[in-house]
Every structure is written in structure tokens, then in C-alpha cells.
């Protein structure tokens, strides 16, 4: 008997583009990110509908034991001197982790535990990032081209954006042509 082969979804590693599979897509614009960037004046000065990032994910089940697979494409740019970044989140199910893979562009992955301690990992084509449970995560594009990263996370993880009312403890800015991580003074 000749076996039949199932055609799986395909990802073009160089661009992060999926093909041949039903996708869920979501774009996040400047107007969707109030209170995220430090320089409110600079944020207001940008076009409200300017896309900061878009996510494409394979339409899959959120059931226990299943995985979501998606790519974030984060545009280059700055609000004032602060690099474009994703909103960032804890998972609603805090113990659930996630894996990111850098595909193109250059940037940083900002990780923060529940004690508010933050750290930065470099993101580049081929980088692998094991995000443990109980860890908030945000992508930051410090380069001149689109930063694309593949992510795989449990279907039950969910998102909790409200858990970071003070935001992250680090901001990544450009100062005198250098990429700098600056501690945020909260409270
Ligand atoms: Fe996540």
C-alpha cells in the first residue's frame, strides 16, 4: 500500500511567513498602546493607525495539552528614544512557559519574574529563548528591520495584561547612538 502523506503547515524561516494553513491575524497600532511608552508626547505625535506589530498564528485548539504556534512581526521604530515593543504579558495560567525562536532582525526579549526582577536576552536569527513559567515577556526591536520571532505556547496559558499595572522594570532606549536598558522608578 502506498502511504498518503499529510502536508503540514509551512513556515519560511527567513521571513516568518506561514503558508498553506488557516491563520488568525491581529495587528496592534500606536493607538492600541497607551501608557506603554514613557514619552506620551512623542506617542501622541505618531499616526494613531501606525502598525507597531502584528501576530499571525495557526488556528488551533486552546484545550489542555495543545499548543499555539505564532509569529510576531515587530516593526522598527521608536516612540521618543524608546524602541518599539510589544505590550508584553504574564500568562493567565502563571505556571505555563513558552518558547521563542528568533527568525529575522535584531532585538531583545525582556523577561520579568513576579518579584519584579527583569533581564534581557538578545534576539537574532537562530536564537532560542526558554521562557519559564511565572515570567512576563516582551519583545523589543532595537534594529532597523522587522524583528520576527516564532513562539510556541500552551493553549491553556492565556494572557494577563493587567498583572503589570506599573509596567516592566526596564525600558530600552537609544542614547547617543547606544542601546541602553534603563531601570524604571515606580511608585
Ligand atoms: Fe506568552
84-96 confidence digits (pLDDT tens): 999 999 999 999 9
pTM comes to 0.95
**4 CA to centre of ligand 1 in angstroms:** 35
Cα separation, 105 vs 16, in Å, equals 11
Check residue 187 and give its pLDDT: 47
CB 99 within 8 A of CB 134: no
**32 CA to centre of ligand 1 in angstroms:** 18
116-172 confidence digits (pLDDT tens): 999 999 999 999 999 999 999 999 999 999 999 999 999 999 999 888 877 899 999
HSE, side-chain direction, 13 A CA sphere, residue 134? 6
**89 CA to centre of ligand 1 in angstroms:** 6
Q: What percent of the chain has pLDDT over 90?
A: 89
Q: Is 166 exposed, middle or buried (0-12, 13-18, 19+ CB in 10 A)?
A: exposed
**128 CA to centre of ligand 1 in angstroms:** 15
Amino acid at each position: 500500500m502506498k502511504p498518503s502523506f499529510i502536508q503540514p503547515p509551512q513556515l519560511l524561516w527567513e521571513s516568518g511567513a506561514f503558508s498553506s494553513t488557516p491563520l488568525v491575524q491581529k495587528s496592534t497600532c500606536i493607538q492600541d498602546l497607551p501608557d506603554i511608552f514613557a514619552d506620551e508626547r512623542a506617542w501622541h505625535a505618531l499616526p494613531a493607525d501606525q502598525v507597531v506589530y502584528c501576530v499571525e498564528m495557526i488556528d488551533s485548539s486552546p484545550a489542555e495539552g495543545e499548543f499555539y504556534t505564532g509569529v510576531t512581526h515587530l516593526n522598527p521604530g521608536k516612540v521618543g528614544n524608546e524602541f518599539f515593543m510589544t505590550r508584553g504579558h504574564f500568562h493567565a495560567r502563571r505556571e505555563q512557559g513558552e518558547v521563542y525562536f528568533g527568525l529575522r532582525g535584531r532585538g531583545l526579549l525582556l523577561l520579568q519574574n513576579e518579584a519584579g526582577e527583569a533581564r534581557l536576552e538578545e534576539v537574532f536569527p537562530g536564537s532560542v529563548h526558554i521562557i519559564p513559567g511565572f515570567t512576563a515577556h516582551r519583545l523589543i526591536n532595537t534594529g532597523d528591520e522587522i524583528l520576527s520571532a516564532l513562539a510556541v505556547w500552551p493553549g491553556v496559558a492565556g494572557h494577563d495584561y493587567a498583572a503589570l499595572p506599573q509596567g516592566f522594570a526596564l525600558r530600552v532606549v537609544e542614547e547617543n547612538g547606544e542601546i541602553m536598558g534603563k531601570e524604571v522608578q515606580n511608585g
